[in-house]
Structure 1
């Protein structure tokens, strides 16, 4: 009997195609395609103009966006929790795609060029604690939907183009600890409730806003229905003749005229007698002001500065230190200047001569520029650029008091800029210059948080054959190197020590000396040295940084700071080596490889031990 062979049925073509697609998707997922949050961020990136290539490492080939520049993920869930891209020169819309990052806790896009409106869908970001969009061009109404963000602690929308009114529902944002909508185009009444805890500076620069806060205009009451005025009988015409004769009226007018003239004369004499007492800067005879030429920006003439200087009063004081008083000087329509009047003592004479001889030729982006000077028998003054951003002491400690954390990019920018400025003074000037009074209050800031070293009150020139110079011990308490306090011998390592204290301030957010703490912890440098010896130096780092900055970057700055504040000057590195180390962070997108870090730290130790 013949056997019949069984022929297998063919697979339907459509099922085969479906199976192939499934295998292709599985293969792509195994090959490392970026996850859903990465796709949302890629969509956000596609709508941006990025001339500096800040987002160049946002690659689709990565499985997660956790190593992308400006992105931080949770260690446990791998979900994106922080987006931190300030000062990145990015242009584009604040994309609604970001609303899909449901675990996002911080969105910082300040100091960029974003425009358009804040998407209403941001109400989905229920974990959001910080929204910082300061210094952009974002417009439209402030979305009422933001009131759904009950965990929001910081809302920074200053210096944008918002219009309309503040949503009434913002009064229920009870978790807010910092709120700033200044310098927009907002109008109407300021809601009560949670917003009443903020002062007028949070709302300044909005001409149409009104409310009960000091410094703001009162809101006009709602107009009531018009009421017809009650009938008033016409006033009776006064028909009595004046009891004064014509001669008496003339005499009364002349007497009144003479009395007014006497009062005016008395006021004039009193003001003339008080004139000299009101003067803050009296140039006397023989004084003249010299303004340097060749500056990149327009400067007033010497005559204009001289005239404006005579009008300086106490209200123009913006700072005072051990070597003089600083005033803000506005000359016509020119950019403002800063005038430092040196105190009349031997130290100030030396300080003035040093600055006069050296600062006029010193040019570095992180040093305050000397624009002119005046030397007269009665007073000596220096003319500098005015820097509107205050100083690092104010930035760190006043911002902390207002619960506004200072972002890592700003702290890093300050640390690197100050290091570069000191390295220039120590290694690029001939003869080299020792600053002698580096402190957070002597580091000024512009509007972009670029740092500038100021106050060369102890600056001395040291020839290349000398290792130190003797000077009267000055400096700021908490920043002075121990050998300088004992002997008055200042080397460049004195500046290195002071820089290390500033670096510790940037990392910890604490003052160099905190008198509210016990003696054991009051001196920041001493406390950190003890913790470092026990392997616990990371405990001093500001919690805001621990949550947002990779450990390897914090380790690097901590090691640099601890080397700088060594008790022995021979163990401190040179500033050019410090700059090389700090630049590792910018060269590797704030995430240096640990092997590079170890090699660089070993080089730092060798450079310190090789110093004379």
Structure 2
């Protein structure tokens, strides 16, 4: 009997041991209860039976817990009530780098907190106005969570706050005016959210102690005057927003880091020296890329001798020689891409021993590539210039150890045998192979004269037979290859059909160019105004708009491939649906579209007004469109807006050479590159054009790859040329790309497309890139009546996004980046347009997950 009672008591003691480790209603009890309920088990580090103040990460005063560091312990789920919310003396709490999803109601009673770090968790709720209870708080870090909604005005009560980090969340609306009360702030980071509107008046001047301000990756509007009154600030990053005004006003003491990239600043930066007392010697980092700056690159660069990072790419500078930068020998990053440079690359750049990145692409530089200090160089891009001569041998030997390099579209020479075909096709396009020919030593040995005459005769006979056979093959091959183009062009020239009207037929439409004399109708080519082309040249270039030159038939009309005189390779889009504009109005609109330039837009080369027909002429895109590449569609399955057949050229076996997704599109890096480039194109149309341009029909077949494998968006701005009938048709969109607000329209009602309509289409394309699936009529596991959007959004909501990732790109990059990209697509495809981010914000989000480049 006694033994049975003892056994029962022992079992009960073991059962209740976890709850007896710490006395109830003590700090030790609350902490241990919190850790256990969040998934942490007892260990040598956290021995729950030991005294609480002996635990790692626990700091006490008089047996009261005043500090708790539980970072990176794998804690997951919702923090329970009656746990850490009961630590009345807690002054410092660090729960960063876990998987916490929510906060308890008693959390806001921790009125003694001075430092709170909840960063890098998965907290998905709005920030409670009870944050104002933390009146003693000096440091608040909620970064890298999923907080949404507005930043509450109650933040104005945190009068002791010195550090505010709310970056990488989903906060929206305006920056609250209550923040102006926080005069003790030293650092503010609100980057990578969905903030909009303007900054409160006197924003910068309200913080006399502020040293660091980061507002990057939002949609905040403002002017240069918002940054007057800088007193202590050394770090300023307002990139990827909508700030305007003179760039000169932003250069103020004592700034050391300035990032104004991807805004709408204007002015001549060469005047900074004359209009301000800015001390260039303090500057360490300067990024002014993708603005509207003009004039010359400033001449007083030599004063910035401590500069490490300089990016002036993609502005509107006037044509100028390579800047004198000899005093910037400490540079580690230099990007002067598309800054209108001419002449030679200065040899003094060879003295830059710390240089890691050098981008001089898309300029008009000539001469040879100088010797570069290659010890630390990791990224080099000199593509799209007029450089010539041999690439330095020392540089070629360094390339295999570099992250990225590109020498394409120059007149450079190298020994191609040193590189793989894939590298030659991406990094040396247009380069000349000049490998030395090694002599065969056997040729110099004396041969025996025996049977020399017989051998010579036999060799001549064999050579003659081979020559005859080769000529026969060549004759048949040429005849076959050219029968469609050459014969038709010759027959056209013989007929000399130059009088109209002209009628042309495709499978779906017949269109007429009411032109009396083809040679009297001019063709305007923007970049070559001195060339005198006419409608007759278009007829010749397209073999009289023959079906054999037809690339596709889209919503706007048929697209033909052609070669204008001088070998200009073009895609000719006939806008057959008619237009409500007069010829003058249409010409003015097409001229406007021709002036819109961006590295990720298909450039409009020219146009022709042939009677009632408006004909748009584009650069020919050599590598097809995204839909065909991603879904492996051959020529016979072309969809709307396919301009290119380079991807599907006929070979000698009447086969189709489809590059498909078995090559480049099987890597996460390349798919991310397409997503980021396309996002930049839409962001430029929405935020960089005045008035903004809405695409109205964004889909995978609108995205092309140029000869440099850069993504380019087509058909922007064309909808305006047509009447409301076509605009309504375009607003309805392609299946799978139509935003919910258009699907829910009542009969007879109309809705105007907005930039958020384009954002939804981009989200669908982003899903396509990550999943490899079509928007509709594809295999969506576990979903019978779903489309791509509903399937992926359901997986993301259940934190099962990895199930949607295309198996072809598994293992080619970080899976966490792919999951983040799915979450970006989730934001873009929100049901309510107001919940979708702007494209400028999307660019910032995609840049945050950009894969590391390796060549």
Q: TM-score when scaled to structure 1?
A: 0.50
Whether the 8 Å CA contact 2:623–2:706 is kept in 1: the answer is yes
Q: How does 1:168-567 map to 2 (within 5 A)?
A: 282-285=512-515, 289-292=521-524, 294-295=526-527, 301-302=533-534, 305-306=537-538, 308=540, 311-344=544-577, 357-362=588-593, 363-365=596-598, 366-377=600-611, 379-398=613-632, 403-406=662-665, 407-456=667-716, 459-460=719-720, 473-487=731-745, 488-489=750-751, 490-515=753-778, 520=784, 523-567=787-831
Distance across 2 between alignment mates of 1:585 and 1:114: 36
Q: CA deviation at 1:532?
A: 0.6
User: SS at 2:830's partner residue?
Assistant: coil
Structure 2 segments unaligned to the other structure (5+ residues): 1-352, 362-371, 385-390, 436-468, 480-493, 633-657, 722-726
Q: Alpha carbons of 1:514 and 1:304: their partners in 2 closer, same or farther (altered >3 Å)?
A: same
- Looking at structure 1, the residues matched to 609 and 681 of structure 2 have their Cα atoms a distance apart, in angstroms, of 27
Cα 1:378–1:483 change in 2 (3 A) is same
Per-residue deviation, residues 409-440 of structure 1 (Å, max 9, x unmatched): 43233212211221122122222221110011
Per-residue deviation at 1:460? 4.5
| Equivalent-residue separation in structure 1 for 2:529 and 2:848 (angstroms) | 33
Provide the C-alpha distance between the structure 2 equivalents of 1:555 and 1:458, rounded to a whole number of angstroms: 35
1:459 partner SS: helix
Contact 1:94 1:116 in 2 (8 A): no
Other structure's SS at 1:479 match: coil
Provide structure 1 residue ranges, at least 5 long, that are not aligned to the other structure. 1-45, 61-67, 71-84, 102-106, 123-129, 139-156, 164-206, 218-267, 462-468, 592-612
Q: Distance in 2 between matches of 1:514 and 1:352?
A: 42
Report deviation, 1:548: 2.0
Task: Give 3-state SS (helix, strand or coil) of 1:433's partner.
Answer: coil
Distance (whole Å) between structure 2 residues aligned to residue 585 and residue 319 of structure 1:
35
Distance 1:440 1:137, change over 3 A: closer
Asked if the contact 2:759/2:839 (under 8 Å) is kept, the reply is yes
- Change in 2 beyond 3 A, CA 1:452/1:91: farther
Cα deviation, 1:157-177, whole Å, max 9, x if unaligned, reads 9999699xxxxxxxxxxxxxx
Instruction: Give the C-alpha shift of residue 353 in structure 1.
Output: 9.8
1:87–1:537: structure 2 CA closer, same or farther, 3 Å change rule? farther
Report if aligned partners of 2:767, 2:822 keep a CA contact under 8 Å in 1: yes
Q: CA deviation at 1:499?
A: 0.6
- In structure 2, what is the Cα distance between the partners aligned to 1:97 and 1:343? 50
Following superposition, the deviation at residue 114 of structure 1 comes to: 10
1:351, 1:458 within 8 Å by CA — same for their partners in 2? Answer: no
Q: Partners in 1 of 2:679 and 2:715 — Cα distance?
A: 16
1:364 and 1:417, CA in 2 relative to 1: closer, same or farther beyond 3 A?
A: farther
Q: Please report how far the alpha carbon of residue 87 of structure 1 lies from its aligned counterpart in structure 2 after TM superposition.
A: 10
State the Cα distance separating 1:326 from its structure 2 match: 0.3
- Are the structure 2 counterparts of residues 158 and 299 from structure 1 closer, same or farther at C-alpha, using a change threshold of 3 Å? closer
Structure with a larger share of its residues in helix? 1
Task: Tell me the residue number matched to 2:423.
Answer: 133
Task: Indicate how the Cα distance of structure 1 residues 279 and 499 shifts in structure 2: closer, same or farther if over 3 A, else same.
Answer: closer
Are the equivalent residues in 1 in contact too, given 2:693–2:716 (CA < 8 A)?
Answer: no
- Matched length: 382
SS in 2 for 1:480: coil
Q: Offset of 1:556 from its aligned partner?
A: 3.4
Contact 2:525 2:607 in 1 (8 A): no
1:108-123 equivalence runs, <5 A: 116=415
Partner of 1:548, secondary structure, is coil
Whole-Å separation in 2 of the counterparts to 1:373 and 1:307: 14
Give how far 1:448 is off.
Answer: 0.9
Instruction: Give a deviation string over 1:386-417, Cα, whole Å, max 9, x none.
Output: 22221111222226866335234432332122
Q: Distance in 2 between matches of 1:352 and 1:535?
A: 55
Residue 547 of structure 1: SS of its match in structure 2? coil
CA distance in 2, matches of 1:304, 1:446: 28
**What SS class does the counterpart of residue 532 from structure 1 fall into?**
helix
When structure 1 is superposed on structure 2, of 509-518 and 473-482 the one drifting more is 509-518
Structure 1 partner of 2:138: none
Residues of 1 paired with 2:740 and 2:612: CA distance? Answer: 36
User: Does structure 2 conserve the Cα–Cα contact (< 8 Å) formed by 1:560 and 1:578?
Assistant: yes
Check conservation: 1:479, 1:497, Cα contact below 8 A: yes
- The Cα RMSD (Å) is 5.3
Residue 383 and residue 284 in structure 1: after superposition, are their counterparts in 2 closer, same or farther (change >3 A)? same
Name the SS for the 2:811 alignment partner: helix
CA distance in 2 between partners of 1:516 and 1:162 (Å): 50
SS at match of 1:339: strand
**What corresponds to 2:56 in structure 1?**
none
Alignment check: 8 A CA contact 1:496 1:564 kept: yes
Are the equivalent residues in 1 in contact too, given 2:696–2:730 (CA < 8 A)?
no
Find the residue that maps to 2:551 and give its secondary structure: strand
Distance apart, 1:327 and its partner CA: 0.5
Structure 1 residues 506 and 391, CA gap change in structure 2 (3 angstroms)? same
Instruction: Note closer, same or farther for the CA distance 1:402–1:53 as it changes in structure 2 (3 Å cut).
Output: closer
**1:572 matched to which residue of 2?**
836
Q: Partners of 1:529 and 1:492 in 2: how far apart?
A: 21
Q: 1:474 & 1:458 partners in 2: Cα distance?
A: 16
When residues 543 and 355 of structure 1 are mapped into structure 2, their CA distance, relative to the original with a 3 A threshold, is: farther
The separation in 1 between residues aligned to 2:580 and 2:676, in whole angstroms, is 32
Counterpart in the other structure of 1:82: none
Question: How far 1:337 moved relative to its partner?
Answer: 1.7
**Higher alpha-carbon deviation: 408-417 or 393-402:** 393-402
Say if 2:360 and 2:382, in contact at 8 Å, map to a contact too: no
